[in-house]
Amino acid sequence: MSVSTQTTVLSGHSIIAGRETPGNAGTTRGIDPATNAELEPAYTLIDEAQLAEATAAAEEAFESFSALDPETHAGFLETIAANIEAVGPELVDRAATETGLPKPRLQGELARTTGQLRLFARVVRQGDHRGVRIEPPLPERTPLPRPDLRQRKVPLGPVAVFGASNFPFAFSTAGGDTASALAAGCPVIFKAHNAHPGTGEIVGHALTEAVAACGLHPGVFSLVYGPGASIGQALAKDPAVKAVGFTGSRGAGTALMATAAARPEPIPVYAEMSSINPVFLFDSALRGDADEFARAYVTSLTGSSGQLCTNPGLLFVPAGEAGDAFLTAVDRALAGAEGATMLTPGIARSCRDGIDALGAQDGVEVVARGKEGATENAPAPVVFGTQVPTFLSNPVLQEEIFGASSLVIRYGSADDLVVAAARMEGQLTASLFLSEKDLPTAAPLLPVLERKVGRILANGWPTGVDVGDAMVHGGPFPATSDSRTTSVGTLAIERFLRPVAYQNIPDALLPAPVQAANPWHLNRRVDGRIELAGDSAEDRA
Amino acid sequence: MSVSTQTTVLSGHSIIAGRETPGNAGTTRGIDPATNAELEPAYTLIDEAQLAEATAAAEEAFESFSALDPETHAGFLETIAANIEAVGPELVDRAATETGLPKPRLQGELARTTGQLRLFARVVRQGDHRGVRIEPPLPERTPLPRPDLRQRKVPLGPVAVFGASNFPFAFSTAGGDTASALAAGCPVIFKAHNAHPGTGEIVGHALTEAVAACGLHPGVFSLVYGPGASIGQALAKDPAVKAVGFTGSRGAGTALMATAAARPEPIPVYAEMSSINPVFLFDSALRGDADEFARAYVTSLTGSSGQLCTNPGLLFVPAGEAGDAFLTAVDRALAGAEGATMLTPGIARSCRDGIDALGAQDGVEVVARGKEGATENAPAPVVFGTQVPTFLSNPVLQEEIFGASSLVIRYGSADDLVVAAARMEGQLTASLFLSEKDLPTAAPLLPVLERKVGRILANGWPTGVDVGDAMVHGGPFPATSDSRTTSVGTLAIERFLRPVAYQNIPDALLPAPVQAANPWHLNRRVDGRIELAGDSAEDRA
């Protein structure tokens, strides 16, 4: 292990509305998956009565937090980012120990997490997500006059967020779901991931201190450690909670969806779950350096021990010489690759089970296999191979194996690709490797892929998700529970908003975004046309 | 009855992908609710195999319809409007006979329906709903270059629409849900309402002829008559169907929600269900002409026999003299009011049952009652009264009675209003009657109402929903199944869209909305800022 720069004394407790709260329901411990050693401290787990304190505080915080002025609101997100950066080195150390992920990867992820908070702060200041629409009154309209109508989006209410094990920063305590819910104006109750409890606590303190520093109601954020699924179910059932953000397995995600749908008041669940991310190689794309191409594939496949939602799990390779040469190169590239420590013993076990199950299917064979890693929980990466008809006839071949496992499908014609794509479940991504002359062949695949995935890439591997304005990290079920949105990028904020219309309401009662004077300088849709803030009469004056 | 101008010969059959299709599952008939007389012709009901033809055709139509150019697409919506207008008089006649609704009301509703189609055509031409976002590549960005990222919204797929009995035009065959789904680019399978089958067929032909006239795939629209709930459930379960639009009862809406959530691939359900639309009267607002005010209330309460989702079902009236005088005036105004024919014998029965049940509650008494109507199915309108503590303690008092029934709650202080509002279920609307000097008293109510309703009105009755850009006809459960949207107004189109991102895709493969040349002249969000079409370099050139 590296020399620790850790300075925070970890308490091992939940933080409920700003207060360290020892739990009444037993303890859990993080473990170092490279050695299976248990880590200090033990983490106390809360019971349902303690959880109710967190949700009640969030409910209480909602009114003031949801009405925050843009400058204070954006400053809050920026303070969280700064506070996280201030403990960056110890965060990376702790996360590396708890997750087995390499430090450079974690450093990059930390930068993504703080960058995301700052990006969302810019959106909060700019304000287009507030969706202001104005229809001035038309008293002379026949047969009926038009009233004064003003629309804006308001936050849904407190949001329950469940973090992912595979992104201890970017999809965890202050990750995408938390950041987008806070940017929308929703208090967050974060269910800590028990696989990285110390990392969660350090981030939780950074966030809690930002709440205090910005003078916000302490109920704006709580971090709770609880006994696995039961506390998660209780959280999703709590009447104060108005939406759920989740990243994790299909089983856990669909369980949350069922719970949310069965509530007396059903609520939206944004669950990012399962994807095998098909990659389509066109013949000409394989005409270059087969070894270089194979190495890029193996890098995408084995990075973070394959534990990425956008891992290339399915590879369509043309029959014939170029495809053969590519697979020989994959065999060479993978032979030297060693398994890397996975996040938890349970995940490593599931990965091995998945690999065994896939290898046992009729018509599926091993194309290439790497070596077991030297640490614990480091299964050998593997690439399987099959043919299109086998893929079409056996749904097991579409099941995600979370880890460095991929299935190559040899295909004969571009029609095969359209047929296979049409039969696929929903995915986060689809990738095409093609050259200029493949465009006419690839064109019929595009509309099929648009119905199946959230992001289509050309000549790039699906791992690596840019956090920006145009990103979609989402897709039809089972990739996510709700294809109408994204869990990465600025559009994610809109998941936690709903529209409200104001009809003939006196200006003095209107909230700032829809007041006549436009005090927040928002772009607004007036009479059906966008009016940029700089173009309004007031701004010109 | 009036002289009929009917010219269409009604076939009594479903229209599946452009073909009149006699059903294999028995027949049903419309009835004239004013006389309980059965109407010609009998309508044949389809079975599940026939339903599958409609959904398969919609699935087949999707690819071409979803990619339609804006001009053809908008022209299609306008052709539907023109075709409906061409049969306007016979439509109004038939609807009046089938629903018992007065002709002037139906004429207004027909104009709203065609106006809505033309408004959506303007949105389709303008294109902001396509949500185009572009992030140009940043090859020099560190630590990683930014790829070329382009986002646009695509239609979800075929949509099942269930019409309402109370709006045979505006929330039925070519009503809001159909129009917004078609505007989004989604084929529609419309489950005809068996309470106005002839009206449905005439509109269905108008729509089918527009599909043919515009050269579209016939699967873009089907109108199916089926045996009640079973065919509706089958439609919501069909794998080709990707969303549901519904207006109707809480029971039927929640049943559809449960079915959609239990599918192997869950889909969104937009159900507009149940609302009692609280109205808050402040003392000073009652200082004017009590009789005039009471008449306006009674008009809103009894219009369309009270069968409006925005019917004022709950009225908070201050204790004291002004409130007393208002209720005396309500008594006078309602005493002369006669019940009007309701839509169906079943609805009239439910209304009477609801009135009996509410009248039997402890602490609830009759404040005013009108007379039974002279026709069948015309229960007397009624206004009940109670006090705040009774309202807070008995959830039955929050149940919607669909019809001309309203509950007056006498309150002592503005705090009572905040408490009562906080305890309410989700609503479509809330209305405030107030004057300048009530503003400080009313202010604390606003944030509470924002969490409970989709539209807040001042000094107006909630009935009457303007179809425009800033309208929200929606609200938290049980008003609707999904508070994140509206079923009236242009924002309704966005219910049927989802985002897709394109990363480094060659321009030749990109769909028109995100191509570099911006051939559809769309406003686009570029690098996080709105760029109006007229401002782009190309447009300036």
User: What's the complex ipTM?
Assistant: 0.96
Of B453, B501, B530, the CB nearest to A530: B530
pLDDT at B284: 87
Backbone angles phi, psi at B84, to 5 degrees: -70, -45
Q: Does B257 touch chain A (CB under 8 A)?
A: yes
Phi, psi at B153, each rounded to 5°: -95, 140
Read off the pLDDT band of A228 (50, 70, 90): confident
CB B282 within 8 A of CB B442: yes
At residue B528, the pLDDT reads 93
Q: Which of B256, B273, B452, B472 to mutate to test the interface with A (most CBs of A within 10 A)?
A: B472
Residues A348-367, mean pLDDT to the nearest whole number: 97
- The reply to whether residue A502 touches residue B268, judged by beta carbons under 8 angstroms, is no
| Sheet with strand B405-411: strands edge to edge | A529-531, A524-526, A133-135, A149-155, A497-503, B453-458, B427-433, B278-281, B314-318, B405-411, B382-387, B365-369
Tell me the pLDDT tens digit for each residue of A28-56. 999 999 999 999 999 999 999 999 999 99
Give which of A119, A120, A495, A500 to mutate to test B binding, by max B Cβ within 10 Å: A500
C-alpha B227: how far from its chain's center?
A: 23
Q: Which residues of B touch A439 (CB under 8 A)?
A: 506, 508-509
Whether B229 shows a pLDDT value over 90: the answer reads no
pLDDT (tens digit, 9 = 90+) per residue, A308-354?
999 999 999 999 999 999 999 999 999 989 999 999 999 999 999 99
| Closest of A63, A347, A6 to residue A217, by C-alpha | A63
Nearest-CA distance from A178 to chain B in Å? 19
Q: Which residues of B touch A501 (CB under 8 A)?
A: 454-456, 470-472, 486
Distance from CA of B200 to the nearest CA of A (A): 26
Taking an 8 Å cut-off on Cβ atoms, the answer to whether A458 and B505 are in contact is yes
Enumerate the residues of chain A whose CB falls inside 8 A of the CB of residue B149: 466, 468, 470-471
> Hey, of A142, A451, A536, which one would you mutate to test binding to chain B, going by the most B CBs within 10 A of its CB?
A451
Return the amino acid letter for A524.
Answer: R
278-337 in chain A: CB under 8 A from chain B: none
Distance to chain B for A440, nearest Cα, Å: 9
Contacts of A134 in chain B (CB under 8 A): 470
pLDDT at position A352: 98
| pLDDT class of B541 with cuts at 50, 70, 90 | very low
A146 and B CB contact within 8 Å:
yes
Residues 25-84 (A) with a CB less than 8 A from some CB of B: 62-63, 66-67
Q: What confidence tens digit (pLDDT) does each residue in A69-97 have? A: 999 999 999 999 999 999 999 999 999 99
Give strand pairing partners of A429. Answer: A455
**Interface probe with A: pick from B110, B112, B256, B498, most Cβ of A within 10 Å:** B498
Of A133, A266, A502, nearest to B469 by CB-CB distance is A133
* pLDDT recorded at residue A194: 94
Judging contacts by C-beta atoms under 8 Å, the chain B residues touching residue A258 are 261
Alpha-helical segments (H) within A238-360: 250-262, 290-302, 321-335, 345-359
pLDDT digits (tens, 9 = 90+) for B43-52: 999 999 999 9
Cβ of B447 within 8 Å of Cβ of A135? The answer is no
Pair type for strands A453-458 and A427-433: parallel
Q: Chain A closest CA to B290's CA: distance in Å? A: 22
Residues of chain A by 3-state class (helix, strand, coil), percent to 5 = 45, 20, 40
CA B174 to chain CA centroid, Å, is 12
Question: Per-residue confidence at B2, pLDDT binned at 50, 70, 90?
Answer: very low
Does B157 sit within 8 Å of A472, measured CB to CB?
A: no
Closest residue of chain A to B490, computed from CA coordinates: A528
pLDDT above 70: residue A538:
no
Among B152, B439, B469, the residue to mutate for chain A (most A Cβ within 10 A)? B469
Contact A470 B501 (CB under 8 A): yes
**Residue of chain A whose alpha carbon sits nearest to that of B498:** A484
DSSP A424: S
Tell me the pLDDT tens digit for each residue of B443-471.
Answer: 999 999 999 999 999 999 999 999 999 99
Which tens digit of pLDDT belongs to each residue from B353-396? Answer: 999 999 999 999 999 999 999 999 999 999 999 999 999 999 99
CB contact under 8 A, B501 and A157: no
Mean pLDDT of the B208-219 span: 98
Neighboring chain B residues of A508 at a CB cutoff of 8 Å: 439
Q: Is the pLDDT of residue B8 over 90?
A: no
- The rounded percent of chain A whose pLDDT value lies above 70 is 97
Query: In Å, how far is A114's CA from the nearest CA of chain B?
Result: 14
pLDDT bin (cut points 50, 70, 90) of residue A2 is very low
Q: Nearest Cβ partner of A460 from B154, B504, B525?
A: B504
Cα A425 to chain centroid distance, Å, stands at 19
- Do A525 and B469 make contact, defined as CB atoms within 8 angstroms? yes
* Separation between Cα atoms, residue A439 and residue A260, nearest integer Å: 44
Is residue A1 scored above 70 in pLDDT?
A: no
Average of pLDDT values for B149-155?
98
- pLDDT band for B535, please (50, 70, 90 cuts): low
Rounded to an integer, the average pLDDT of A481-490 is 98
- Whether residue B312 is preceded by a cis peptide bond, meaning omega within 30 degrees of 0, is no
Predicted local distance difference test score (pLDDT) of residue A5:
43
Sheet holding A269-272, edge to edge: A19-21, A14-16, A221-224, A188-191, A159-162, A243-247, A269-272
CA–CA distance, A182 with A154 (Å, rounded to integer): 12
- The shortest C-alpha distance from B209 to chain A (Å) reads 27
Q: How much is the mean pLDDT over chain A?
A: 95
Q: Nearest residue on chain A to B122, judged by CA atoms?
A: A528
pLDDT confidence tier of residue A535, bands split at 50, 70 and 90:
low
Q: In terms of Cα–Cα distance, which of B140, B196, B147, B151 is closest to B169?
A: B196
- Read off the DSSP letter of residue A323: H
Looking only at the bridges linking them, the beta strands covering B159-162 and B188-191 are parallel
Say whether A265 and B128 touch across the interface (CB within 8 A).
no
pLDDT of residue B540: 42
Instruction: Give the tens place of pLDDT for each residue, B124-146.
Output: 999 999 999 999 999 999 889 99
Q: Which of residues 438-497 of A touch B (CB under 8 A)?
A: 439, 442-443, 446-447, 450-451, 453-460, 464, 466, 468-472, 474, 476-478, 481-486, 490-491, 497
Please say if A272 is a catalytic residue.
yes
Question: Are A458 and B146 in contact (CB < 8 Å)?
Answer: no
**In this predicted model, what pLDDT tens digit does every residue of A52-70 receive, in sequence order?**
999 999 999 999 999 999 9
**Residue B516: per-residue pLDDT:** 97
C-alpha atoms less than 13 angstroms from C-alpha of A255 in its C-beta half-sphere: 15
Q: What is the pLDDT of residue A332?
A: 96
CB contact set of B536 (below 8 Å; sequence gap of 6+):
B518, B524
State the pLDDT at residue A534.
74
pLDDT of A536 above 90: no
Q: Residue B1's pLDDT is what?
A: 36
What is the percent of chain A where pLDDT is above 90?
Answer: 94
Condensed to tens digits (0 to 9), the pLDDT of residues A497-528 reads 999 999 999 999 999 999 999 999 999 999 99
Q: Token pair of A395, please? A: 């749904």
The pLDDT score that the predictor gives to residue B7 is 61
Note whether A456 contacts B146, CB cutoff 8 Å: no
Amino acid letter at B259? T
How far, rounded to the nearest angstrom, does the alpha carbon of residue B391 sit from its chain's CA centroid? 28
- Chain B residues within 8 A of A490 when measuring between CB atoms: 528
Over the stretch A438-458, which tens digit does the pLDDT of each residue have?
999 999 999 999 999 999 999
The rounded percent of chain B whose pLDDT value lies above 70 is 97
pLDDT in tens, A112-144: 999 999 999 999 999 999 999 999 999 999 889
Q: What is the pLDDT of residue B374?
A: 96
A133: chain B residues, CB-CB within 8 Å: 469-470, 491
Contact A128 B468 (CB under 8 A): no
Confidence of residue B285 (pLDDT cuts 50, 70, 90): confident
Chain A CB contacts of B451 under 8 Å are 62, 154, 157
Contacts of B535 (CB under 8 A, 6+ apart): none
Domains along chain B? 14-30+37-273+488-493 (3.40.605.10), 278-458 (3.40.309.10)
